[in-house]
Copies of this chain bind each other. A is one copy, B any other.
Amino acid sequence: MENFIFKNATEIIFGKDTEDLVGSKVKEYSKSDKILFCYGGGSIKRSGLYDRVIKSLKENGIEFIELPGIKPNPRLGPVKEGIRLCRENNIKFVLSVGGGSSADTAKAIAVGVPYKGDVWDFYTGKAEVKEALPVGVVITLPATGTESSNSSVIMNEDGWFKKGLNTVLIRPAFSIMNPELTFTLPEYQTACGACDIMAHIMERYFTNVKHVDLTDRLCEAALRNVINNAPIVLKDPKNYDARAEIMWTGTIAHNDVLSTGRIGDWASHKIEHELSGETDIAHGAGLAIVFPAWMKYVYKHDINRFVQFAVRVWDVDLSYSSCEDIVLEGIRRMTAFFKSMGLPITLKEGSIGEDKIEEMANKCTDNGTKTVGQFVKLNKDDIVKILNLAR
């Protein structure tokens, strides 16, 4: 186990009707009476959530300026617009209501407001975050784990670069999570969310750090829970219990309890960012394409870890004739599981042309100058090979 520091102070308010507490929570954490209120498309208006949030804010005397229209794979443009609005109105708190894109936008705004340079500097690594406004989140899509994570992922429209920022300063002050708000999610988004949650756990799971027994087991527990409950919610979208399991697992997957003392991989996420940067495919769908190919490419690096994964997570029997057969059966079952949820598992199924492989590998490695991943450090050629395995 590696030495580690762990701190996650996000207050989670979980369960039925909890969105009615949004006004009182904003009041508790905001340093200004006026706040910025970010959200996505029309779904929160159609569902009535928008009205309930407004009511709660008004009851608590909170004024707000709206930043609507945040899109999936959130863009830098609205981030800059949000920063401008906060500065002009002396706003010291950003509220997001919606999915991960809206929350990631709120986080980007929160670090951008007190910073004199270009907020994109934080995403390219040019500058380090020193301070951030507090952010509050009402999450409606269990997937990104952004509700208590230290991450924000933003797409720069200028070149379609998708980059992630990690800093403890952007963990939300509070996150409100009502599984009922996920009842109306389309099947495809639900499946993408489940895959994203699994991917967050697997990025942590595949590590070169030895003796990480507890977090191994916690990861396996969380993965098994998604595998059990995702088919239930796909069949029965209003099943509160199964929705709650998926939603809470999505948070645990990415709140860093599962990565204590470990060094995660994150190559698959970085490769996927090129897929969704290139084609706007949903992040979770892109991960369903990348992860099986990545596994096939790297498993020989630590076959024991992949055997453990196959046996403990996918119930592969030890009686196979070789470790390699056990591993490949594990990967096969995972891929079949993604497919059973209606996700694409090849570039072709994701409508991503083979002709883009070279370009995506290039972008992912800054034109071949950098490697990605920790479990195995992958160069541009490796990524070309992985994407070819994903054809």
Instruction: Tell me which residues across on chain B come within 8 A of A241, comparing CB atoms.
Output: 1, 210-211
Contact A214 B210 (CB under 8 A): no
**Chain A 206-218 interface 0/1 with B at a Cβ cutoff of 8 Å (1 = within):** 0000110110011
Identify which of B13, B228, B244, B257 contacts A257 (C-beta below 8 A).
B257
How far, in angstroms, from A229 to B214 measured CA to CA in the complex?
10
Q: Say whether A225 faces chain B, with CB atoms less than 8 Å apart.
A: yes
Question: Smallest CB–CB gap between A139 and chain B, Å?
Answer: 14
Contact B211 A245 (CB under 8 A): yes
Q: Say whether A9 faces chain B, with CB atoms less than 8 Å apart.
A: yes
Q: Say whether A15 faces chain B, with CB atoms less than 8 Å apart.
A: yes
CB-CB under 8 A for A3 and B7, given A214-B245, A221-B218, A225-B213: no
CB-CB under 8 A for A12 and B1, given A221-B220, A252-B214: no
Contact A12 B3 (CB under 8 A): no
Contact B211 A244 (CB under 8 A): yes
Q: Say whether A371 faces chain B, with CB atoms less than 8 Å apart.
A: no
Contact B220 A248 (CB under 8 A): no
CB-CB under 8 A for A225 and B221, given A12-B6, A15-B3: no
Copy tally for this chain in the complex stands at 2
Identify which of B2, B8, B252 contacts A8 (C-beta below 8 A).
B8
The residue among A3, A18, A249 with the most chain B CB atoms within 10 A of its own CB is A3
Within 8 A of B (CB), among A203-247: 210-211, 213-214, 217-218, 220-222, 224-225, 228-229, 241-242, 244-245
**Chain A 253-264 interface 0/1 with B at a Cβ cutoff of 8 Å (1 = within):** 000010011000
Interface residues on chain A, size class: 35 or more
Q: Say whether A301 faces chain B, with CB atoms less than 8 Å apart.
A: no
Contact A228 B213 (CB under 8 A): yes
How far, in angstroms, from A218 to B13 measured CA to CA in the complex?
20
Q: Which residues of A contact B (CB under 8 A)?
A: 1-16, 18, 210-211, 213-214, 217-218, 220-222, 224-225, 228-229, 241-242, 244-245, 248-249, 252, 257, 260-261
Given A213-B229, A214-B245, A214-B248; 14 other pairs, CB 8 A cutoff: A3-B15, A4-B15, A5-B14, A6-B14, A7-B9, A7-B12, A8-B8, A9-B9, A14-B260, A15-B261, A214-B222, A218-B221, A220-B221, A244-B261
